[in-house]
């Protein structure tokens, strides 16, 4: 369907008469309501001039309740400095909820090295000496995606060693990232 001059004129006429986009689409045939709305906006016809609109505009112009509103100006909203996020110990976290920390706030304590087995840490230290030190753009499905360092520095890299089947990390990093369920339960108590 194309917008011929006759169809555009009919659209303008019907729109000016106050007919809905659905009614116009039905009358024109082969065009949707949304196509009519789009054409109306492209033609700049979005403001209608009908007899009903001025009647509705008159009550809005009567400022009877306006002096009351002007007599009581609303106080400006107070802006408070950002508060630090509460410590995770103060509020027990549920496993399904994540805490969103505002920018510039310190991160909650991360699992410390003493919660990870010394064997796993030793293995990670040895593996990171042999790591390929890949950038984000060099990662593939077959490379370990374990991040090392601070992402805001030039020294940031990913392990890059071959991954364990079905996991995003190499064998050593899987040992650190995926801990057995029983050890996690014991740590909570």
Kindly report which listed range (12-21, 56-65, 117-126) carries the lowest average pLDDT score: 56-65
Interior/surface letters 150-174, b for 16+ CB within 10 angstroms, e for the rest: eeeeeeebbbbbebbeeeebbebbb
Token representation of residue 101: 């920390």
Q: How far is CA 76 from CA 66, 67, 73, 79, 167, in A?
A: 19, 19, 9, 9, 53
pLDDT for residue 72: 59
Query: pLDDT: is 151 or 185 the higher one?
Result: 151
pLDDT of residue 35 exceeding 80: yes
pLDDT band at 34 (very low <50, low <70, confident <90, very high): very high
Give the mean pLDDT of 7-17.
91
Task: State the Cα torsion 163-164-169-171 to the nearest 10°.
Answer: -110
pLDDT at 162 over 90: yes
Domain spans in the chain, listed from the N-terminal domain onward: 5-43, 115-188
Which of the pair, 86 or 106, is modelled with greater confidence? 106
Place of tokens 């991040």: 147
Inform me whether the pLDDT recorded for 164 exceeds 60. yes
Average pLDDT, the chain: 75
Whole-model pTM over 0.85: no
**Stretch among 3-17, 22-36, 112-126, 150-164 having the lowest mean pLDDT:** 112-126
Two tokens at 171?
A: 């064998």
The 10s digit of each residue's pLDDT in 134-143 is: 999 999 999 9
Residue 9: what are its φ and ψ, rounded to 5°?
A: -65, -40
pLDDT, position 115:
63
């Amino acid at each position: 369907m194309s917008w011929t001059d006759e169809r555009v004129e009919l659209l303008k006429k019907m729109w000016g008469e106050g007919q809905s986009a659905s009614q116009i689409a039905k009358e024109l045939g082969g065009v949707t309501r949304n196509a009519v709305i789009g054409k109306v906006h492209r033609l700049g016809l979005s403001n209608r001039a009908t007899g009903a609109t001025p009647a509705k505009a008159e009550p809005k112009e009567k400022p009877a309740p306006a002096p009351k509103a002007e007599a009581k100006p609303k106080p400006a909203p107070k802006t408070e400095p950002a508060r630090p996020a509460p410590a995770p110990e103060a509020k027990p976290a549920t496993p399904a909820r994540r805490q969103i920390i505002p920018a510039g706030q310190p991160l909650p304590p991360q699992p410390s090295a003493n919660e990870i087995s010394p064997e796993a840490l030793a293995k990670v230290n040895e593996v990171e000496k042999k790591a390929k030190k890949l950038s984000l753009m060099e990662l593939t499905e077959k490379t370990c995606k374990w991040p090392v360092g601070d992402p805001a520095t030039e020294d940031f890299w990913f392990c890059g060693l071959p991954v364990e089947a079905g996991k995003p990390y190499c064998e050593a990093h899987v040992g650190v990232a995926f801990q057995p369920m029983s050890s996690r339960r014991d740590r909570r108590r």
